[in-house]
Amino acid sequence: MTLPMVVPDETLPSAVTIYEVGPRDGLQNETSIVPLEVKAEFVRRLISTGIQVVEVTSFVHPRWVPQLADASELIDRLDLGGAVDMPVLVPNDRGLDRALAAGVRHVAIFASATESFARANLNRGLDEQYAMFEPVVVRARGAGLRVRAYLSMCFGDPEEGVVPLDQVVTAGRRLLDMGAMQLSLGDTIGVATAGQVSAMVDAFTAAAVGPSALAMHFHDTYGQALANVLASLHRGITTFDAAAGGLGGCPYAKSATGNLATEDLVWMLDGLGIDTGIDLGELVRTSVWMADQLGRPSPSRVVAALAKPSSR
């Protein structure tokens, strides 16, 4: 298999964590229901690549995301006690109840940096959303769970345009102050550019939130995701969300296209000599397999370049 030439950059982190969101964020917007056993096999194959964090599903009401109606059944088929971290998204107290009953060790909440998206996604205003999330975070932390907070629309909103940096920082600080252990900054519609990303990290640093508390979640709508990752690396960010095969979008943001493909990210990081612990060849084979299940080719450039019939 072709591999990138490795040219290390000593100014960048030596290792990063890839937070794989394919089974949850990648599949949630699929119109055809993916069979339960396919989802379970997808998670198992992802784990076999060396990925250490795989967000597997969401305990959301099936009315809102029918694709994830089998969340409890999927959890029953997975080994939550293994070495790989398998978080789930919980939208509210009821979702947390289900997560606790299932023995989940790591949960995530999903907030908005803008009024428009909070209304569309949560049916609450920008300030009102925190009243919903705070008891979830407090209960989860009290039960010994790790808690991540997603913050969507950090770099642009289809209704509101560019989102002011101080507005994003204020929203993110509120989530961290209530007990979230990591904040994932989402470029939900893929409009961010490298300079904007650097300015965002700098704004959080000025507000006493260092890079170790932040993760980046880029979409590749305008082809800027990898440039934005590189800008983040130069600011010390070491956790990046990605979806195998470039799956995904957001059911509440119609202009959102696929997530940054995990393979594309790993190719760039491998070339920079940055350790991910992931076997790129195995990852490509996994995405080719998943593309076959979905009946369409993967949008990942690296998958397209490396996949061969024998990859299956």
Q: Please check whether residue 163 is in contact with residue 114, taking contact to mean a CB–CB distance below 8 angstroms.
A: yes
170 Cβ contact list (under 8 Å, min separation 6): none
Tell me the backbone φ, ψ of residue 5, rounded to 5 degrees. Answer: -70, 135
Sheet holding 239-242, edge to edge: 53-54, 17-20, 239-242, 214-218, 182-187, 146-152, 106-112, 88-89, 57-58
Read off the DSSP letter of residue 161: B
Classify 119 in phi/psi space as left (phi over 0), alpha (psi -120 to 50) or beta: alpha
Q: Confirm whether 154 is a catalytic residue.
A: no
Closest CA to 204 of 226, 176, 178, 234: 176
Q: Which of 250, 260, 268, 302 is catalytic?
A: 250
Phi, psi at residue 6, to the nearest 5°? -95, 120
Q: Any idea which residues carry the catalytic annotation?
A: 250
